[in-house]
């Protein structure tokens, strides 16, 4: 009896805090929950990679090369006899890491530039936004490739290049959100009580634009993962022997064995789809007014 009362009280409390309310709504969305569970599982697998795989991702056994799925290699082996399942799990480390970091780079730059443009307006706004327009006018993959040519190949450079290229989208979303929020009286009130501009932006404006930005960032991770895979496929991103899904696709496409490209491709598709569905779910949970 007392146990039920306690849980009811807990639910009540959860509903009262802003985060609890969002979580209550999010839990009801089955597709988003499934995506969340899938991504959490994938992250755990990536972190615990040495424990959940039994082969070395970089050293293969040539006699075993190009074998289809079997009991000992559930996704088969690649052209060097390496276990594909093992490589996909290790590849998840790279893909998730690159996705998160690239979004972090873009989000940081986008938040700073977007809020400055919106808060100060006038020439700051014009300067920043016209520059972003120029970047948006160039196809993003082309721009990434150009950056990679300048910076050189490698994971770090891929993160930077993919991050920089997606900055304009974040600048735009931050700018438009700040423009809407800064008209509120509490921003005027923050000035009236003696806040400096930076404190007003950091304490009163940015906390109120988190909803669209979180959603955008979640969706952005999937774009970053796709871009990483594309770079890897083109041979510009993560270099062999590192296991990266796009690189695996790129190298594997020369072999006449469908499972070599099927499983990395499936990994990319499922992960990207999961991030997209999670982003949609978050948007619905964070802002119930947008839900149709």
Given 67, 172, 204, 283, the residue binding other proteins (CB under 8 A): 204
Given 185, 254, 289, 292, the residue binding other proteins (CB under 8 A): 185
Interaction of residue 182 with other proteins, rule CB under 8 A: no
Q: Alpha-carbon distance 213 to 242, whole Å?
A: 32
Q: Which stretch binds other proteins (CB under 8 A): 22-30, 55-63, 68-76, 181-189?
A: 181-189
Contacts with other proteins, 63-102, as mask; x by CB under 8 A: ----------------------------------------
Interaction of residue 24 with other proteins, rule CB under 8 A: no
Interaction of residue 276 with other proteins, rule CB under 8 A: no
Q: What tokens does 269 get?
A: 């598709």
For the stretch 220-242, what's the b/e string if a residue is b when 16 or more beta carbons lie within 10 angstroms of its beta carbon?
bbbbbbbbbbbbbbeebbbeeeb
Interaction of residue 188 with other proteins, rule CB under 8 A: yes
3-state secondary structure 152-221: CCCHHHHHHHHHHHHHHHHHHHHHHHHHHHCCCHHHHHHHHCCCCHHHHHHHHHHHHCHHHHHHHHHHHH
Per the rule left: phi > 0, alpha: psi between -120 and 50, beta: everything else, 76 is left
Nearest CA among 290, 124, 155 for reference residue 236: 155
Q: Which is nearer to other proteins, 5 or 193 (CB)?
A: 193
Q: Which is nearer to other proteins, 21 or 56 (CB)?
A: 21
Interaction of residue 190 with other proteins, rule CB under 8 A: yes
Q: Which is nearer to other proteins, 62 or 199 (CB)?
A: 199
Interaction of residue 191 with other proteins, rule CB under 8 A: yes
Cβ-contact 247, 267 below 8 angstroms: no
Binding site for other proteins (CB under 8 A): 16, 18, 184-186, 188-196, 199, 203-204, 207-208
């Amino acid at each position: 009896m007392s146990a039920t009362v306690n849980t009811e009280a807990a639910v009540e409390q959860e509903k009262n805090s802003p985060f609890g309310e969002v979580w209550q709504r999010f839990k009801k969305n089955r597709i988003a929950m499934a995506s969340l569970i899938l991504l959490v599982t994938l992250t755990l697998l990536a972190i615990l990679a040495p424990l959940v795989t039994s082969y070395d991702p970089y050293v293969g056994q040539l006699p075993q090369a190009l074998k289809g799925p079997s009991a000992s290699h559930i996704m088969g082996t690649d052209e060097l006899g390496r276990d594909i399942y093992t490589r996909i799990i290790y590849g998840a480390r790279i893909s998730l890491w690159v996705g998160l970091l690239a979004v972090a780079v873009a989000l940081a730059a986008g938040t700073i530039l977007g809020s400055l443009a919106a808060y100060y307006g006038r020439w700051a706004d014009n300067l920043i936004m016209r520059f972003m327009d120029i970047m948006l006018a160039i196809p993003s993959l082309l721009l990434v490739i150009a950056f990679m040519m300048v910076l050189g190949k490698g994971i770090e450079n891929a993160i930077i290049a993919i991050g920089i290229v997606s900055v304009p989208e974040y600048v735009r979303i931050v700018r438009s959100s700040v423009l809407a929020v800064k008209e509120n009286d509490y921003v005027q009130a923050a000035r009236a009580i003696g806040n400096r501009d930076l404190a007003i932006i950091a304490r009163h404006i940015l906390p109120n634009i988190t909803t669209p930005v979180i959603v955008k960032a979640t969706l952005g991770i999937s774009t970053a993962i796709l871009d990483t895979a594309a770079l890897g496929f083109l041979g510009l991103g993560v270099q062999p022997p590192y296991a990266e899904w796009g690189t695996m696709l790129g190298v594997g496409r020369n072999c006449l064995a469908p499972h070599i490209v099927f499983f990395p491709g499936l990994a990319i598709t499922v992960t990207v789809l999961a991030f997209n569905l999670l982003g949609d779910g978050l948007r619905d949970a964070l802002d119930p007014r947008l839900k149709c």
